A = this chain, B = another copy of it.
Amino acid sequence: MSSCWGHNVRISVFGQSHSEAIGVVVDGLPAGFRPDMDELGAFMARRAPGGSLATPRKEADQPRFLSGIAAGVLTGAPLCAIINNTNVRPGDYTEFKDKPRPGHADYTAEIKYHGFQDASGGGHFSGRLTAPLCVAGGICLQLLRREGIRIGAHIERIADIRDRRFDPAEVSERDIDSLCRGELTVIDSIAAEKMADCILQARQEGDSVGGVIECAVTGLPAGMGDPMFDGMENAIASAIFAIPAIKGIEFGSGFDCASMRGSQHNDPFTICGDRIVTRGNNHGGILGGITSGMPLVFRAAVKPTPSIAAKQNTVSLSEKKDAKLEIKGRHDPCIVPRAVPCVEAVTALVIYDKLLDKKKDI
């Protein structure tokens, strides 16, 4: 079991990279909401393959809704969206069943599923499965905007090339709207150019690079979330790691807090108009698992694409001896750009779910 998530909105993701279709069931969306399908399509396009920095596998990745929507309006019944897999080439992958690719789930899935997993294209572990996540999250993004809540992520870093960070205490809806959403979503377009060079350089060398994504949520009311196991950090972390290749997550000051003094790390409260705010936002908008009303800010580390052109060492499972592996075809030299909307989508799912919890507190 695995691919279910949620307390008030429950999602169940299905599909393999090369199965007939992939998709998601979303149970608990509000009846009466009319998703903007153009906007959803534009959001999906941000995740879709294409562009000079990504894999050339071409897929429209537009969802078809089998249920839960009638005349364009959510009915309250579970929504099922599927995306057909049209560009399937199972032949590309038969080798990996015996020779697991380093950095992929080929080996661990082989053990877990006793050799019966659908290894083709990475099966259920493929990054392609983030497409249904983006359908579900894309709708939640629209629902949240109705409530004045905005979510925006950008590439904070590719290798050692850094974008500016959000000002954690000041980041606003306008900052999210003014993100440069080209092939690489950044605050500072100059950074994007350097990042693009860095990615192309890696591609030319048959290699790949990693990075860091920063995400901000604005417009959150104070008092969302729960103590201990159901805090905002717990919930976001538990969902963010659903995105393949994420290796770490940090909130507010994150790992930098280790080097700070309490006097420096504490964010003093102050009155700002009729609102209570903090000066500084090392707490990342969360105290005791509960939102403070300040922007919620976190960063997630994304590893370099494990599929690289160079010949790699691995083992032959059947022969139980060391072996060489060469991954053919072309792959994203960097998955960070396409992971940006995935981070937004997953965050939207969590925030929307928690927002429903908050309605019960009233």
Contact = CB atoms under 8 A, between A and B. Distances in A.
Contacts of A31: 112-114, 116-117
Nearest to A257: B303
Interface in A197-254: 202, 207-212, 222-231, 233-235, 237-239, 241-242, 244, 246-254
Interface stretch (A21-29, A36-44, A179-187): A21-29
Contacts of A123: 75, 77
Interface stretch (A53-61, A164-172, A270-278): A270-278
B222 A111 contact: yes
Contacts of A237: 234, 237-238, 241, 249
Contacts of A249: 237, 248-250
A66 B78 contact: no
A258 B212 contact: yes
A89 to B, nearest CB: 15
A189 interface: no
A32 B229 contact: no
B265 A312 contact: no
Interface stretch (A101-109, A137-145, A146-154): A101-109
A108 to B, nearest CB: 4
A169 to B, nearest CB: 13
Contact of A290 (B112, B129, B247, B317): B112
Contact of A302 (B10, B227, B239, B258): B258
Given A100-B269, A301-B254, A262 B79 contact: no
A327 to B, nearest CB: 10
A284 interface: yes
Given A12-B10, A105-B227, A125-B288, A252 B247 contact: yes
Contacts of A271: 315, 320-322
Given A238-B235, A241-B231, A261 B3 contact: no
A341 interface: no
Contacts of A124: 67, 75-78, 227-228
Nearest to A286: B108
3 pairs of A and B residues whose beta carbons are closest in the complex: A105-B288, A248-B250, A2-B226
Given A31-B114, A124-B227, 14 more contacts: A3-B230, A4-B229, A14-B68, A14-B80, A15-B66, A75-B118, A103-B287, A105-B287, A234-B242, A247-B253, A253-B303, A254-B301, A262-B304, A268-B314
